[in-house]
Amino acid sequence: MTALLPLLRPAGPANSVPVDAMIALALVAVLLWAGSSRLRLAFPFALPLGLFLVGGALGALSGPVPRTGLVALVQDVTLLLWFWAVVNIGSSPERLQAIARAWAYAAIGWAILLLGSVAAGVTAISGQTESEGVRAALTFGNANFAGNYFFVSIMIVWATGRPRNATFRRAAYVLLLAALVSTGSNSALVAVALGTTVACLLGVYRRSGPIPAVTALAGAALAFSLVASNVSLSDIQSSASRSSYAYIRDGVGRSAKATSDRGLLWRQGIGLYQTSSPLGRGPASTKVRLKAELAHRPVEAHSDYLAAINERGVLGLVGVFLLVAGLCFQAFRLARAAPTGAIGRAIPRPNALVGATAGMLIAMTTTEYLHVRHVWVLFAVVVAGARLARE
């Protein structure tokens, strides 16, 4: 199943996508397997995710788009069941290893397909549209989703150490990073920078202990301060926006405008909250409400945190914060995991999964990722890995 995660186009009724059929089959298979083996199932994050769903249901009842909200809630339940299924499948080192390695190898294949379609001008596969310029979206239908998928895939390849051959693995990193750049997603580039930094620091900690790790952290902070004080980000953005290379213009070149747009969306979202009910107004209601208020840019929330408070109310926001806290706790367990034992067999470099989690939680401030399939598989792999580390 992890090999088919990018298959989100063509979209069907009620926002269904091709991979959903495979997810449904996988859920049935997991239930049959659990029943026949009498496996004791685990349901992590039941409280925060329950609050998230209840908040969405209460908001939808009083919101302007109850039918759309109901469809969104059905999708939420499906993703929740999928998350729990992957966690339980990954309860043994061998099965978790298979899940992660399948993702690593499949992502390399998807990167080759994307880059090949871009080079050949096959927009039906590359996902390039006139409105987005040269930005590629593959079969995600959204360039930021595609960029985020390749960011997580880079960290998965790192975590699994696959391909086993170091030369092939370095080539895989280059392919995945090139695919990410082709999406023009600045949030994915930020996630790569943050995730790599976190993973490297934790790698130093795992190999050498706390003192070298603190030294490496101080060195990284010093390097960042030197770059920040001597390099003008606005000059880079300005030069990139005038570049003769379309991928630079539509990527880094649009970062200043993207930052400004996200600031506007946050201001609109906060203003919407101030006129909203504590119960929220239902999933997918932000754009409709902004249109009704004649907002400057009536679009969806573009942030999981803003969407939670405006659409699912206080209960939804508490649920998201508890989910984030739970993921941080599980990542902490992974960071402290010994390189031997069950987790070492399944995920040789769990520090890379911690980096992926850190990058994802930051990316959620600028894009709504909690309804994207590959994000929940990442969360499931982190939770399953943390359970193995504890055992």
For the cut 80, the answer to whether the pLDDT of residue 137 exceeds it is yes
pLDDT at 206 over 80: yes
Here the tokens at position 325 are: 């806290």
Average pLDDT, integer, range 31-44: 87
pLDDT in tens, 57-110: 999 998 899 999 999 999 999 999 999 999 999 999 999 999 999 999 999 999
pLDDT of residue 350 exceeding 70, the answer is yes
- Res 142: pLDDT: 94
Q: Are the C-beta atoms of 192 and 352 separated by less than 8 Å?
A: no
Residues 94, 95, 101, 103, Cα dihedral to 10°: -170
Whether residue 167 contacts residue 327, with contact meaning beta carbons closer than 8 Å, is answered with no
Look at residue 250 in the predicted model and tell me its pLDDT. 65
What is the signed CA dihedral for 240, 141, 285, 148, rounded to 10 degrees? -60
What do you get for the CA distance between the two ends of the chain, in Å?
26
CA distance 27 to 213: 42
Q: What are phi and psi of 20, to 5 degrees?
A: -65, -35
| Percent with pLDDT over 90 in the chain | 63
pLDDT over 90 at 115, yes or no:
yes
**pLDDT score of 237:** 61
Give the confidence band of 164 by pLDDT, cuts at 50, 70, 90.
Answer: very high
Q: What is the pTM for the complete model shown? A: 0.94
CA–CA distance, 342 with 264 (Å, rounded to integer):
47
- Give the whole-angstrom CA distance, residue 250 versus residue 182: 9
Written as six digits, the tokens of 62 are: 């009083």
pLDDT in tens, 292-316: 888 888 889 889 999 999 999 999 9
Residue 227's pLDDT band (boundaries 50, 70, 90)?
A: confident
Least confidently predicted of 208-212, 234-238, 264-268: 234-238
Instruction: Report the Cα 259 to chain-centroid distance in Å.
Output: 19
Say what the pLDDT of residue 235 is: 65
DSSP string covering 173-218 = HHHHHHHHHHTT-HHHHHHHHHHHHHHHHHHHHHHH-HHHHHHHHH
**pLDDT above 70 (res 234):** no
The pLDDT, as a whole number, for residue 364 is 96
* pLDDT computed for residue 251 by the predictor: 66
Higher pLDDT residue, 210 or 276?
210
pLDDT digits (tens, 9 = 90+) for 242-273: 676 666 776 666 666 677 777 888 888 888 88
pLDDT of 168 reads 97
Task: Write down the mean pLDDT value for the chain.
Answer: 90
pLDDT at 74: 93
Q: How far is Cα 47 from Cα 322, in angstroms, rounded to an integer?
A: 8
For residue 233, pLDDT over 70 is answered with no
Name every residue whose Cβ is closer than 8 Å to that of residue 79 and which is 6 or more positions away in sequence: 370, 371, 373, 376
